[in-house]
Amino acid sequence: MSPLVLDTFKFFKQYWRYLVLFVVPLALIEHFAFRNLIDLELIQAAQTDEALAEALAGQFPTLATLELIFKPLIEGVVITATLSAVMSGALVTRVVLNRLLSVSPHLLLAFALRTVLIVFGLLLFIVPGVYLYLRLILMPVIVVDKSVGALSAMKQSWQLTGPAMGTVFIGLLQMVMWVFFPLFFIGQVVPTGAAMFAWAAISAVALATFDIFKCRLYNELSKGS
């Protein structure tokens, strides 16, 4: 396990209670909205690829809106909390929320721009999308840390990750192996109903480690810039 990944888990162990406070309410609201606004039965009932594509197309505006609202907020609150703890050695809820509110418009735009570029890259035989994700992984961290716009954050992320692609790729691959894969396989056997809400909260807190990793990576790469 790389030092960056170890450092990520150490930070998570130290501050996980604060992350629960910040992340879980947003994750539960997102899960509730998703289950009530997205017609899952229509999607599950699709018998052909054409029917599935039609069902997904009909749900896309709602799904995209939910993603655009909640994902940047959850990602932003974890990054803001992590940077705040790193800089001051403590987490103050008021400071974190004030900082998050001040950069929220830039975070939303950065998330939308990054998502469009990555999806476009994935459509070009997967590899370009993965490459773009690795190069743009630091965009939200830079937005929060420097209060810059999406385009400036994209440029700076591109510059920082360019010379360190091996470090970025290996670290992210280890995070996927240690966090995402276990969550994915356990999630396949979680029953429906109330248990799904509990699992949504647990998953959101665990996946917050990816945003902590981005912050630790940003701090490491910024030292040499």
Model pLDDT, residue 171: 94
For the cut 90, the answer to whether the pLDDT of residue 144 exceeds it is yes
Position 86 confidence tier, pLDDT thresholds 50, 70, 90: confident
* Overall average pLDDT of the 75-84 stretch: 89
Ramachandran quadrant class, 125 (left: phi over 0; alpha: psi -120 to 50; beta: rest) = left
**pTM of the prediction?**
0.85
Containing structural domain, residue 84: 3-223
**Segment 12-42, tens digit of pLDDT:** 998 888 888 888 888 888 878 877 777 766 6
- Using an 8 Å Cβ cutoff, are 79 and 153 in contact? no
Quickly state the pLDDT bin for 84 (edges 50, 70, 90).
confident
How far apart CA 88 and CA 95 sit, in angstroms, is 11
Residues 6+ apart with CB under 8 A from 179: 206, 207, 209, 210
Looking at the structure of the chain, the number of domains it has is 1
Helix axes 150-161, 93-123, angle to 10 degrees: 70
**Which amino acid belongs to residue 57?**
A
The overall average pLDDT reported for the chain is 84
CB 207 within 8 A of CB 179: yes
Residue 104 clears pLDDT 70, i.e. is over it: yes
pLDDT tens per residue across span 151-160: 999 999 999 9
Average pLDDT over residues 212-224: 90
List all residues 6 or more positions away from 113 whose beta carbon is below 8 Å from its beta carbon. 139, 150, 151, 154
In the predicted structure, residue 131 carries a pLDDT above the cut 80: yes
74 with 1: CB under 8 angstroms? Answer: no
Mean pLDDT of 46-64: 72
Using CA atoms, how far residue 29 sits from 36, 55, 63, 167, in Å, is: 11, 24, 14, 35
